[in-house]
Chains A and B, each alone.
Chain A
């Protein structure tokens, strides 16, 4: 008898041990499988080769450009003409003969880079750079002998790169470059240049208090109107175009989301079990929804832009088609969950089918559907940004354009911040509407 019990005990014990072993193995197997998969992708994606493909200098310019800008002081070594231009752009060029206060134009142009660094453009295509703690560097360029320098070529520090074709000096204060064609000095400043007004605007450099309360800066125009006009039409930052682009993106999301919902609502009845007894019809509409969702916004965008050309409407229609599929599926599931008693009650008053739907079904499902639609509104704002980059519309297009030029990273940063703020705003709006409308809809219960 007691032997029996111990036998059963050991049996049970062995059983439990086996179970624990199985569980332990399972607990280790899953992470192991994931790790093995990650190891496989490590080689499939060639992560090891990434180091040589990565461009660290690109990352450095990107980082520097996002928070700072440079002003170019340039001498054309053939004609001797001087230009001072912000970011070297035409729209940021100072008018002939004028310069910021750290550049003094003249026979000898003196550029003060700050912290004791001074560069002088000497006559005869020569240059003198006083580096504190190092001493003056003198260089000149001539057609016959190329770039000449006063330092011993063998003992140049690593921040000077020199050949007979070009001299580059990079210090913490700025950068100097000398070639046969031109002598250039770059000075870096924190901030985004000319964000409010370009140089040709009379409001550039005028303090805000004077624009708001002072006398007219431009006698032709009232201060506020003129300042707004110049800001809005800023050639470099294109605030007007950016505002339009944001509106386009939001419009795409809005039209796509609600258009999809409006189309999906009646069709969803045909795919719901309790409203469409015919199995064939239900099946057909469900497959239509699956198809619309499965084709994906990317393919819809490509197909539609062939017919309608690039622009916000194409993007809106692409979102609309994909969302009709998603909403159709979600709505028909919600409709299958409606309470039949309310419909029966309405029917008992002699209501026609349309009235039964209007008063028996719609009030039940609208809060649920609306909340789903509003959830989509926020995520579609992000989709619209991406679709805009493909089909050519909205802030997505501006973003890709600014990235392709690979130099206006401050604009890229600006757009990214705007995109994030836009998504936040839509998130907040959809949450607010959800609370308002659904509470309003619930008040009857």
Chain B
């Protein structure tokens, strides 16, 4: 009798231990494979790099030191440089802002076309979702370079490239927001004969606009970085100036330092402000 009673509990205990051991083994195995991938990946990357990691490590501060010492020598000119590059910074910010505005507009339309219950053509929902996937997948630099070839350098290719990507990226987030929108206002508007655009603009947008705004602000932050990078490949703005001073090399490092500083301060400032605003927006929204 006692033998029968003790057996199942011993079984459970053994089962549990076996399960734990198995789980640990799998966890350890995954970790080991992951570490192996990291180490071998790093050595492959190092092998294909122009300079090695260990040999480059001591030099890592050489360049910042060079830039800093030159900027320090000519520190009297630094405020002048800062003012000088403000228009270029403004252009970079304008590119990011216009691209964010256009991209947000595009994303609003696309997201509504691909949300169940709101879509104008419900059958085309998968199509618009795929369209947004593709728009998200294309890196900005690809479109920017192609458009620079056709339109010549300048801010417009960068705006189009960033807006295109933003449309896809925000569209996905917006359609998630739309799923939670209350459909009653939309039905109410439909009952009084409102068209699709009117239903969306008056029925959906007021509900979701705080979330839209919060996401768009986050995107604006990302787009400033993207716009600076695109400037580096020829789309104008502060990235272009940075490229020029960098390819000039020694003698213009004080200007490079001014650009670094401007870019850094801008990114941090926008980051802080948008973080603050977004925090308040989402709290107001009752979350």
Contacts and interface: CB of A to CB of B under 8 A. Distances in A.
Interface of A: 34, 37-38, 41, 44-47, 50, 53-55, 58-59, 62, 248, 251-252, 254-255, 258-259, 262, 290, 293-299, 302-304, 306-314, 316, 382, 385-386, 389-390, 392-393, 396, 399-400, 403, 406, 412, 416, 419-420, 423-424, 427
Interface in B109-148: 133-134, 136-142, 145-146
A390 B49 CA distance: 14
Given A62-B146, A294-B271, A252 B45 contact: yes
Contacts of B98: 37-38, 41, 45
Size band of the interface chain B makes with A: 35 or more
A34 B108 CA distance: 16
Interface in B10-68: 34, 37-38, 41-42, 44-46, 48-53, 56-57, 59-60, 62-64
A292 to B, nearest CB: 11
B163 to A, nearest CB: 12
B151 A427 contact: no
A127 B11 CA distance: 95
B28 to A, nearest CB: 14
A248 B140 CA distance: 19
Contacts of A299: 260, 263-264
B232 A298 contact: yes
Contact of B49 (A41, A45, A62, A313): A313
Contact of B38 (A50, A255, A304, A419): A255
Nearest to B231: A298
A248 B41 CA distance: 9
B101 A312 contact: no
Interface of B: 34, 37-38, 41-42, 44-46, 48-53, 56-57, 59-60, 62-64, 91, 94, 97-98, 101, 133-134, 136-142, 145-146, 149-152, 154-156, 159, 225, 228-229, 232-233, 239, 242, 246, 260, 263-264, 267-268, 271
A54 B146 CA distance: 12
A389 B260 contact: no
B49 A314 contact: yes
Nearest to B94: A41
18 contacts: A37-B98, A38-B98, A41-B94, A45-B155, A46-B154, A50-B156, A53-B152, A251-B41, A254-B37, A307-B57, A308-B53, A310-B49, A310-B50, A316-B42, A390-B232, A399-B141, A419-B137, A423-B137
B159 A45 contact: yes
Contacts of B38: 255, 258-259, 262
B210 to A, nearest CB: 13
A262 B35 CA distance: 11
A109 B227 CA distance: 54
A44 B94 contact: yes
B62 A307 contact: yes
Contacts of A393: 48-49
Contacts of B141: 385-386, 389, 396, 399
A62 B150 contact: yes
Contact of B151 (A54, A306, A399, A403): A54
Contact of A37 (B34, B41, B97, B149): B97
B139 A382 contact: yes
A385 B165 CA distance: 14
Given A45-B94, A258-B38, A396-B141, 16 more contacts: A45-B98, A54-B152, A55-B150, A255-B45, A294-B267, A296-B225, A298-B228, A306-B59, A308-B52, A386-B140, A390-B233, A399-B142, A403-B149, A420-B138, A423-B136, A423-B138
Given A308-B51, A313-B45, A295 B264 contact: yes
A291 B57 CA distance: 20
Contact of B44 (A251, A307, A424): A251
B91 A424 contact: no
Most buried by A among B44, B49, B53, B57: B49
Contacts of B142: 385, 399, 416, 419
Contacts of B48: 248, 311-313, 393
Contacts of B45: 248, 251-252, 255, 311-313, 316
Given A38-B98, A290-B271, A298 B229 contact: yes
Given A299-B264, A312-B48, A390-B233, A45 B271 contact: no
A218 to B, nearest CB: 32
Contacts of B271: 290, 293-294
B263 to A, nearest CB: 7
Contacts of A412: 146
A296 B228 contact: yes
Nearest to A55: B150
B222 to A, nearest CB: 9
A101 B226 CA distance: 50
B149 A58 contact: yes
A308 B50 contact: yes
B150 A59 contact: yes
B145 A400 contact: yes
Contacts of B268: 290, 294
Contacts of A314: 49
A311 B49 contact: yes
Nearest to B90: A44
Contacts of B51: 307-309, 311
Contact of B264 (A53, A294, A302, A303): A294
Contact of A419 (B139, B233, B242): B139
Nearest to A424: B137
A309 B44 contact: no
Contacts of A392: 50
A298 B239 contact: yes
A403 B97 CA distance: 27
A306 B267 contact: no
B5 to A, nearest CB: 29
A399 B140 CA distance: 13
A389 B154 contact: no
Contacts of A297: 225, 229
B146 A313 contact: no
Which of B34, B45, B154 counts the most chain A CB atoms within 10 A? B45
Nearest to B256: A302
Which of A58, A302, A313, A400: most chain B Cβ within 10 A?
A313
Given A299-B260, A419-B139, A47 B156 contact: yes
Kindly list the 6 A-B residue pairs having the minimum CB-CB distance in the complex, ordered from nearest.
A309-B50, A311-B49, A309-B51, A306-B63, A313-B49, A308-B56
A309 B47 CA distance: 12
Contacts of B146: 62, 403, 412
* Residue among A50, A55, A295, A307 facing the most chain B CB atoms (10 A cut-off): A307
